[in-house]
Structure 1
Amino acid sequence: MTLLTVACLVAYAAFVEWQWGWGRLLAQWQKVGLWTTMGALVLLTATYFVRTQRIYDYFPKQTAGHFLKLFRLTQVHNLLNIMLPFRAGETSFPLLMRSQFSVPIPRATAALLVMRLLDLHALCAAAGIGLVIGASGRPLAWLLWALFLVSPLAFFAAKGPIFRRLKGSLSGKLERLMEEVEAGIPADGGRFARAWFFTVVNWGVKVLVLAWVLGLLGVAPLAATFGGALGGELSSVLPVHAPGGVGTYPAGITAGALAFGADKARAAVSAMAEAAINAHLMIVASACVGTALSVMLSWFSNEPR
């Protein structure tokens, strides 16, 4: 796995140098500006604290008083998710939760599945802002978007009858999957609402920052910047995910921007690819900053390790 990751990174770096040149790509950040770049990194890093709070609230008995320890765990999990191919990094979460907080693997796995479904919903809702802004019937579009945004809360209110009907009509693996999803949903409505809220805040900030940066790097129109943010993040949750997201993440940004109305001319696509690579570099940099911050905070923490 390590050799595959290193080989992919080296091949990707060589391809980018041959196609565009790293000097040309990195020079784009001069247009963005140092303080703007730092502000974007700070906002992206802040989302990792929101993710940690969601898990902290999801497992209150096991994690009480150990926020920084949990923050370090979430950063390790996030970095492994980015660097390992084929979503192999996801397996680290239940293992880490068991070793660090004595959470049973089935319980942690079920909770992770539910959180990933909430992530997908919130990601689509955040990216949908770009579609709503560009829609002709804007009031109706905002209403439909708001209904979609709060749909998980409505689902939770009706989850009992929904799961009974689904499990009665499914069999085999699908029924077991439904049982895992149900086991991963908090029984308390307030805790589920907080999990939904933290998820929306996390992905809302991340998509807005990515769209903002893509716009500064030359991606247009506004809807295309949101589409690019959506495409990049969706590529990272697909089963076929390259180590470090090299190639797949920038390709997802480019595809998403094109789907949301970006210019399809060859020169425009090439410029968009450059912006996508730089946006991907910022995502990787924020993950590295978050991991380094979690290690430094653990040095000054009184929490047991």
Structure 2
Amino acid sequence: MMLRSWKFWISLAILLAFIIVVERSYGWLAVLASWQRISTGELTIAVTLMLISYLLRALRFYDFFHQYCHGQWWRLTRITVLHNFFNNLLPMRSGEAAFPMLMKNHFSCPVRHSLPALLWLRLLDLYVLLALAVWTLSDIPDHIIAAGSADIWLLQAGLLALPLLVLPVQNRIRKVLSNHPGAMANKIADLMQVLPSSPWPFIRALFWTLINWVLKLAIYAWVLQQFIAISFGQSWVGASTGELSSILPIHGVAGAGTYEAGIVAGLLPWQLNTAEALAAAVNLHLFVLGCTLLLTAVITIATGRLGHKQLDTGVLKD
């Protein structure tokens, strides 16, 4: 409880400081007024694409946990959306704990399986984010990057080759554990049971992760462009660093402050007006949070009705 209290007060302090900084540097009324630049039609398209992104995320989890879900796509979609909701709004990434609990309650998936799988998928998210960010290094001014083009090419090639090492390393660990049985080895082997052991499941997980992040970052980059005069490549970098801020050990409530700091940090190489960059970052964050609230409500209600309909159909058949 003491640790939770500490996290809460730190997050609250970041949130309050963030509110004050935005008001003094740009003004909240001016930030909100800039939404008039986006038409209702454009905003509807962006939100619809975000809905597709949510469904892609659910599809990735369904593909990964299909042995537990027994065809109940609607229920897992509901779980992934609620998990995303708690993760976006609760401080210090504490919302991550919701997924193992929901999987245990709805699908009897033990925490010792869902937790390692969630960690593995999060590492896959981080890898894809880093890989996509590295491919944008060519857009960053030369005086910011000390490495030459050959070094950047080697870094890009290394990141592309990295997934080829995952399965051999995992399978090697499994072999070592099987050759040295014991209480600890058996426990580690059980934790790894849900992880992919063959190429095809791993390729599918990587594919769903990649296509989802490309779509999300493209949407975020476009939204960011509506509030500050930058190129798509620049806004992509800002959106990427904003998402990468999630790995920081400290966050504001709902990511407020730290998410914007990540975006502004990504835009610093182009020496943009800091106040304008901060205002654009705030509006992108408002878009993300708005989509979280709206789409969570829509998908939760929709999947709830689908669930009742499927249940009623099953009762009638029986």
Match of 1:23 in 2: 29
What are the superposed Cα offsets for residues 76-128 of structure 1, whole Å, 9 maximum, x if unpaired?
11111111111211111111110011000010001001001000011112223
How far has the Cα of 1:32 moved from its partner?
3.3
Distance (whole Å) between structure 1 residues aligned to residue 160 and residue 287 of structure 2: 27
Letter in 2 for 1:47: S
How far has the Cα of 1:296 moved from its partner?
2.2
- Name the stretch that deviates more: 43-52 or 115-124: 43-52
> Do the aligned residues in 2 keep the contact of 1:217 with 1:275 (CA within 8 Å)?
yes
> Do the aligned residues in 1 keep the contact of 2:112 with 2:191 (CA within 8 Å)?
no
How far has the Cα of 1:226 moved from its partner?
2.3
- Name the stretch that deviates more: 235-244 or 147-156: 147-156
- Name the stretch that deviates more: 230-239 or 273-282: 230-239
In the alignment, structure 1 residue 114 sits paired with structure 2 residue 124: no
Give RMSD over aligned pairs.
Answer: 3.5
Q: 1:123 aligns with which of 105, 129, 133?
A: 129
> Do the aligned residues in 2 keep the contact of 1:87 with 1:238 (CA within 8 Å)?
no
TM-score w.r.t. length of structure 2: 0.79
Match of 2:284 in 1: 279
Letter in 1 for 2:266: G
How far has the Cα of 1:41 moved from its partner?
2.0
Match of 1:60 in 2: 66
How far has the Cα of 1:208 moved from its partner?
1.8
How far has the Cα of 1:138 moved from its partner?
7.9
**CA 1:72–1:158: 2 relative to 1, 3 Å:** same
Match of 1:210 in 2: 220
Distance (whole Å) between structure 2 residues aligned to residue 146 and residue 33 of structure 1: 41
Match of 2:90 in 1: 84
- Name the stretch that deviates more: 187-196 or 95-104: 187-196
Q: 1:247 aligns with which of 257, 262, 273?
A: 257
Match of 2:316 in 1: none
SS at match of 2:230: coil
Letter in 2 for 1:159: Q
* Alignment coverage as a number of residue pairs: 295
**CA 1:140–1:64: 2 relative to 1, 3 Å:** farther
- Name the stretch that deviates more: 11-20 or 182-191: 11-20
SS at match of 1:300: helix
> Do the aligned residues in 1 keep the contact of 2:15 with 2:252 (CA within 8 Å)?
no
Distance (whole Å) between structure 1 residues aligned to residue 151 and residue 311 of structure 2: 52
Match of 1:185 in 2: 195
Match of 1:155 in 2: 166
Q: Percent identity?
A: 34
Match of 1:34 in 2: 40
What are the superposed Cα offsets for residues 10-61 of structure 1, whole Å, 9 maximum, x if unpaired?
7755653454333211222222333222222222222111111111011112
Unaligned residue ranges in structure 2 (runs of 5+): 143-147, 313-318
Unaligned residue ranges in structure 1 (runs of 5+): none
TM-score w.r.t. length of structure 1: 0.82
Larger radius of gyration: 2
SS at match of 2:286: helix
Distance (whole Å) between structure 2 residues aligned to residue 162 and residue 146 of structure 1: 25
